Structure 1
Amino acid sequence: MERTKNNSKLDSFLKRNTSCDLYERIRSCEPCVVVSGSVKKVFMHVILSDERIYLSEYHPRALREALSFRDITSIELINDLPDFLSGRDRERSLHICVVHTAKNAGKKSKRPKGSSQNKPECPSVSPSQRHDLGVRHSMEGMSHVLLSTRSAPSESSAWRISPTSMSDGGLEEEEGSIIIKRRSASCPNPDVLGLFHTLSQPPSPVHSSSSSVVAVQTDRPAVSSRRSSILSRLMLRTLAEKDKEEEEDEKEEELHLYAVSPTSRIYLHLQCAWSSYIIRSTLMLDPVYRKRCGISSSSPEKQQCYKMSWERTCHLFNQLSGELLQEHISLESLYLLLQELHTATYRNPTIKKLFWRSPDLYPFLVKKLAESSQVTQEGVHTADRLLLCTLVVQILSLMFRETEIEAARLSMLTAKQGALTANMLHALVCDPELQLPDSTNDSQSSNTKLQGLQADYLDAASALLFEVVVLCQEASRTPALGHFLAVSWVFQMLKPHPFLLPFVGYQAQQVVLVLSGPQCPISPSQTVLLYQRCSVLLASLQHSTYLSKYITTGFKEEFRYYVKTSGLEHKLPQHYPISQPAQRILSQLLSLILQKP
């Protein structure tokens, strides 16, 4: 990793002073001049994890949290020459402005978040008890385990963050654990099987305390009804006043980072980490997605999973890989083993590293996808083939996400001039129209099921294509690496594909259908998929003249009359972390499609 290659002293400090979970999730470390409300032009190490930005002295003594990605509103490059730098450092400096919200920033009467008076039920705890307390709450509660007990008391006091529940709760403690409790394809996890077709019903609404007042049977029902109505109005008024007070307490602040290295990649890593966070935290709001991940909705105390060492994880991963790569494996066994790999990867990010460091798994999955897609293009469409293709694409998409710092990934994707990556792209794109053989005797319900499976595959394919586009965008920002990866290369590879135009047209149609439907909120998963589709379409318009002409010619009128940015606030709820980025990218997409020739 970059931190070990660049600064062994910092790496040793992080190993001693962070939990194993946090250390494995550190994405990048880079020295920068830091300017914020509490730090004035100090040369410090900026440390990025999956969820937060941390700061430490250049000669590390303590680790402190700067801000959480959930509070970031924008990350911008500033074109200026800082007056506090001189010489070459001033000319080659990279100025990054991170705009974020700060809650209760102006209220001195508020107690500090970590004080025991804020949470009477959670009095001051010893460092050894932090983990047990932290996993009971969502991501913010994991701050209790971010520092080891080696820090001085004065330094560690800055870490006492109240374990306030978040709307995307349970993400950090779930992803920080591992699901592999047994390793046998003959005894698969029964909770995992069949999740492709299992949709959890939305939870029944939780009634407020005023509902119980309505339910009470009295001799004067009219009086009881009036009382319940008054109580309801009082509760709504109290909630509205509380929301208004919280909004007034929030204000925007800025964190300025000045990188002085000519090869700095801190801006790229910031953008990638923030993008990954808003996607992941939005998906975790979806109960269907959480169920597919195997995340239980039971009490947090029951969700504590044991941690597994690197050696044990490697052993089980190698065992799973061996079973996957064995010859003459049946389609059913292959599917069950891939299910296990898919589910385990959600629970333990270490598996992503092992996947890219394995020389065989990525070529194996690309080969299976190519074989299965070739069969379907010949007209033989079966449910098991579509399920297998969808699962393979979902695994590949998962392995691409949040692995940009893994050097083995870039080596694998660029080997032999990207031959494997090109094969994956050609196998990924397919005809969106499901062609059933003429001799089929399937009923209409079976055909409808196959069409649903085809739609699931197309959704997964658009998500994977998005990951490849993001990969190439990241690679193009680092020309010093000397590789050929670029967004234009992706569409150049796909241009001869016979189904490229129908495939891209399908993505555009789905965007129009989602945004022109009823004015009601769409699910978190649909919002993420909308963001991914818009990103792919925007990249097509910007980097392919061939696709740009096709999209603007074929879908200009649909976007003009059916897609309205004025009603987006009803479809994209503001509590989805990805809503604002989705609105911004949709505005860019509309401006390009609707601009006059």
Structure 2
Amino acid sequence: MARTGSGALLLSRPNIKLDSFLKRNTERTVYERIRAHEPCVVLSETINKAYMHVILSDERVYLTEYPPRTLTEALSFRCVRDIELVNDLPDFLHGKNRELCQHIRISYVTDKPAVRGHDWLRRDRKAGLPPAAPPSRRTSQCPTITHTLEGYPAQRSPSELPTLPPTRSASCPDPETLGLIRVPPPPTRPPSTEPPRTSSPISPLSPSSHRLNFPDAGQVPRGIGSVLSRLLRRDSSSSGEEREAELHLYAVSDTSRLYLHLQSSWNSFIIRSTLSLDPLYRRRCSGSSDSCPGKRPPAISWERTAHLFGQLSCELLQEGISVESLYLLLQELRTAAHRDITLRRLFWRSSELFVFLVQTLEESLHGCQSLSGVCTADQLLLSTLIVQTLAVMFRETEVEPARLDLLSAKKGALASRMLLALMCDAELQTQNQRSLVDCEVSCSPLTLMLLISSVANVAAVLLCQRQALLAEYLDAACSLLFELLLLGHDASRSSSADNFLSIGWILGVLQPHPQMLSFIGYQVQQVVLVLSDLQESCLSPLQSVVLFQRCRLLLACLQYNNQLAQHLRSHFREEFRYSVQLSCAEEKLPPHYPISQPTLQLVGQILTLHLHTNTRADCAFK
């Protein structure tokens, strides 16, 4: 799903009525961040196989009836623990629908008491609901949500509401063909004499509280009496211990992309919410200082954003621009992209700026290596800024069709150039080291000794500075490669023959690069350093995010490329067997970081895959 210049939803098969409903019943800031919606069969502790619309934003999953009447929050990504595809054939579906169904299971943390076998829709009680999973070892703190309902104004009676006739989904068949019962419309009630009530506006999560609550009856518009609002309503007076619950979504379509959107949204959320714990990052994204934490810059229209982006692009693309001006303009572009997703979408509408950034990265990072073999501090700074800007442009823009069109054009020519431009030697010589080697050949021993003594201090300082800049670049390159792997994960599950940018294709482009092994070796060394006893301090939000991204990269190498997997197992076998410890990761990842639990899951997968393979190899050798 993407948006046009006017902000309307643009789907390959649009649902105009649902789009109109969302536009009327959500605030503009929420509507503009809706990433996807799709009709599904929903199964949870309180909903028994109901055909509903699933609406996905960058922070929450919403549900609404089919046809839509009331928008209700199902869960927040803050409380999600896992999103996975289940390989099964639902027994309540038949024929082709059963074979095409994609079963998505979302495990999340809630403090709502378990449902005691009550079937709200009065269907077959013998069918039962999936049992709740046992409580997880690591507890999560979920903030209070003081809203969950966005419906029609309460003062309007049901007879005044617009009639929404049943419509057939663009990607799913009619519910009657699935053997399901539609959620019935609300019964007609006499007008209430009480003062009208208004529903709470959708508001951001509160970081200071730790309970997930749904509204009481007073928050529900009396004129509606919606079945869905009764299904998902929670008693605010009841509280209990946190436990795991599950939400099951059955997308009856072989072209469904809901799972991919869920995974991408969840990854983006845990990264963004973890980084927001860092004051510097929070200030960069919000544009407000710590002295005014609640102050936000006013919203800018799409047209105004497009105008400003066009001006900035023209300045960047002008001929003869100096390195200093280029660096300052790129800083402005990166900061603006952090704050405004509209600008990120506009970035992909034209190829000029993207091509310019890739070409500048090639010249800055690899042009210097071909001439002198080293990069200066200015070149590393510029290369890092370019890579960081590109990584931001990828974030949360997977629903922009122009992005895939641009990257897949000419059989992925631009994507290949960007991937190859990313790679660099993690152990490049410094200019001073190369100068001393040259002098050793051309100078006398006395002259060489004097030269060494005179530049020793300067060389040490420059070496430390360059190592820090190179480490910053390698971190940024890993972050951009992580975004590309998310793109590849999407393509790997896509049924479209045109979408060839899979994880295997990405690693296949990188694997022959002469500096790929040096690059991946550095990433492994950093993971080993963090997950061993060599580093005792807790990780910062930024360090935690980079660790998560590195683990995703290593897992992709182990799973999708045999050559890279063999290299990792043969060169880092002892480190993974004796130095990498899951217990160290648990101690260094603070439990209140949203990214901690997903990172621990990735570490466990890497260790299991790596050690299990090595054990089998040992047995075969013996």
TM-score range, shorter chain: 0.7 to 0.9
TM-score by structure 2 length? 0.74
Q: Deviations over 1:47-103 (max 9, x none)?
A: 000000011122222211111111111223233333333332233222222122222
Q: Which amino acid aligns with 1:303?
A: K
- Encode CA deviations 1:524-544: one digit per residue, 9 max, x unaligned: 111111111111111112222
Alignment correspondent of 2:207: 166
Q: Does 1:466 align with 2:482?
A: yes
| Structure-2 separation of matches of 1:270 and 1:163 | 19
Q: State the match for 1:258 in structure 2.
A: 250
CA distance in 2, matches of 1:523, 1:292: 17
Query: Post-superposition shift, 1:27?
Result: 0.9
Distance 1:141 1:84, change over 3 A: closer
Residue type at the aligned position of 1:489: W
Note if contact 2:71-2:151 (Cα within 8 Å) is conserved in structure 1. no
Q: CA deviation at 1:420?
A: 0.8
1:22/1:384 CA distance change after superposition, 3 Å: same
1:553 is matched with 570
Query: Are 1:141 and 1:161, in contact at CA under 8 Å, matched by a contact in 2?
Result: no
Unaligned runs of 5+ in 2: 3-8, 117-141, 158-185, 187-196, 211-237, 437-454, 618-622
**Aligned partners of 1:151 and 1:18: how far apart in 2?**
15
Quick one: structure 1 residues 567 and 157, their matched pair in 2 at CA, closer, same or farther if it must change by over 3 Å?
farther
- The residue number in structure 1 matching 2:346 is 354
Q: Of the candidates 481, 501, 507, which is equivalent to residue 485 of structure 1?
A: 501
- Residue 33 of structure 2 is matched in structure 1 by 25
Aligned position for 2:411: 417
Cα distance between partner residues in 2 of 1:527 and 1:78: 29
Aligned to 1:456: 472
Q: Distance in 1 between matches of 2:347 and 2:146?
A: 27
Matches of 1:340 and 1:139 in 2, distance apart? 33
Alignment correspondent of 2:97: 89
User: Deviations for 1:185-237, whole angstroms, at most 9, x for unmatched residues?
Assistant: xxxxxxxxxxxxxxxxxxxxxxxxxxxxxxxxxxxxxxxxxxxxxxxxxxxxx
SS in 2 for 1:98: strand
Q: How far apart, in 2, do the equivalents of 1:284 and 1:19 lie?
A: 23
Corresponding residue SS for 2:34? coil
Q: Is the 8 A contact 1:491 1:540 kept in 2?
A: yes
Please identify, of 154-163 and 353-362, the stretch whose mean Cα deviation from structure 2 is larger.
Answer: 154-163
Residue in 1 that maps onto 2:173: none
1:9 paired to 2:25? no
Correspondence 1:385 to 2:379? yes
Structure 1 residue 444 corresponds to structure 2 residue 436? no
Q: Structure 2: which amino acid aligns with 1:407?
A: P
Aligned equivalents of 1:251, 1:152: Cα separation in 2: 38
Which amino acid in structure 2 is aligned with residue 495 of structure 1? Answer: Q
Residue 74 of structure 2 is aligned to residue 66 of structure 1:
yes
Of residues 587, 593, 597, the one that matches 1:570 is 587
Answering whether residue 330 of structure 2 is matched by residue 338 of structure 1, we say: yes
The residue matched to 2:427 in structure 1 has which SS?
coil
Quote the residue 1:213 is aligned against: none
CA distance in structure 1 between the partners assigned to 2:515 and 2:310 by the alignment: 37
The 3 A distance-change label for structure 1 pair 498 and 4 is closer
Q: Distance in 2 between matches of 1:536 and 1:65?
A: 33
Among the aligned pairs, what percent are the same residue?
Answer: 53
Q: Compared with structure 1, are the counterparts of its residues 163 and 140 closer, same or farther at alpha carbon in structure 2 (3 Å cutoff)?
A: farther
Shift in Å at residue 321 of structure 1? 0.6
In structure 2, relative to structure 1, the CA distance for the partners of 1:546 and 1:83 (3 Å cut) is: closer
> What is the CA distance between 1:323 and its match in structure 2?
0.6
* SS of the residue 1:317 aligns to: helix
Letter in 2 for 1:560: R
Q: Indicate if the aligned counterparts of 2:70 and 2:150 stay in contact, CA closer than 8 A.
A: no
CA shift, 1:518, in A, is 3.3
- Aligned residues of 1:64 and 1:159 also touching (Cα < 8 A): no
The alpha carbon displacement at 1:12 in A equals 1.6
Q: Is the 8 A contact 2:33 2:58 kept in 1?
A: yes
Question: What's the counterpart of residue 80 of structure 1?
Answer: 88
CA contact (8 A) 1:71 1:102 kept: yes
**Deviation per CA, 1:386-427, whole angstroms, max 9, x where unpaired?**
111000000111111111111100001111111111111111
How many angstroms does 1:148 deviate by? 8.0
Displacement, 1:140? 6.5
**Aligned Cα RMSD in Å?**
2.9
- Tell me what 2:368 maps to: 376
- 2:392 aligns to what SS in structure 1? helix
Counterpart contact for 1:521–1:571, Cα < 8 Å: yes
Distance 1:480 1:151 in 2: 45
Structure 1 residues 167-566: aligned runs within 5 Å? 248-293=240-285, 295-296=287-288, 298=290, 303-377=295-369, 378-437=372-431, 438-439=434-435, 442-516=458-532, 517-566=534-583
Structure 1: runs of 5+ lacking an equivalent: 109-137, 170-245
Greater CA drift, 448-457 or 160-169: 160-169
Listed one character per residue, the Cα deviations across residues 518-563 of structure 1 (whole Å, up to 9, x for unaligned) are 3332111111111111111111122222211211111111122211
Residue 495 of structure 1: CA displacement?
Answer: 2.6
3-state SS of 2:67 partner: coil
Residues 564, 60 of structure 1: alpha-carbon distance in 2 compared, 3 angstrom cutoff: same
Taking structure 1 as reference, are residues 268 and 527 closer, same or farther at Cα in structure 2, changes over 3 Å only? same
For residues 224-262 of structure 1, give each alpha carbon's deviation from its aligned partner in whole angstroms, at most 9, with x where no partner exists.
Answer: xxxxxxxxxxxxxxxxxxxxxx99522222212111122
CA contact (8 A) 1:167 1:285 kept: no
SS at 1:552 equivalent: helix
Give the Cα–Cα distance (whole angstroms) in 2 for the partners of residues 160 and 39 of structure 1: 25
Provide closer, same or farther for how the CA distance between residues 159 and 41 of structure 1 changes in structure 2, counting only shifts above 3 A: farther
- Which one-letter code corresponds to 2:479 in the other structure? A
Name the CA shift for 1:163/1:541 in 2 (closer, same or farther; >3 Å): closer
Per mean C-alpha deviation after superposition, the further-off stretch among 305-314 and 94-103 is 94-103
Looking at structure 2, the residues matched to 332 and 151 of structure 1 have their Cα atoms a distance apart, in angstroms, of: 58
Q: Distance in 1 between matches of 2:301 and 2:144?
A: 24
Contact 2:41-2:51 at 8 Å conserved across structures: yes
Query: CA deviation digits over 1:418-453, x for unaligned, max 9?
Result: 111111111100001132223486442232112111
Partner letter of residue 547 of structure 2? L
More helix by share: 1
* Matching of residues 96-135 of structure 1 within 5 Å: 96-105=104-113
**2:163 corresponds to:** none
Larger radius of gyration: 2
- SS of corresponding position for 1:80: coil
Aligned length: 492
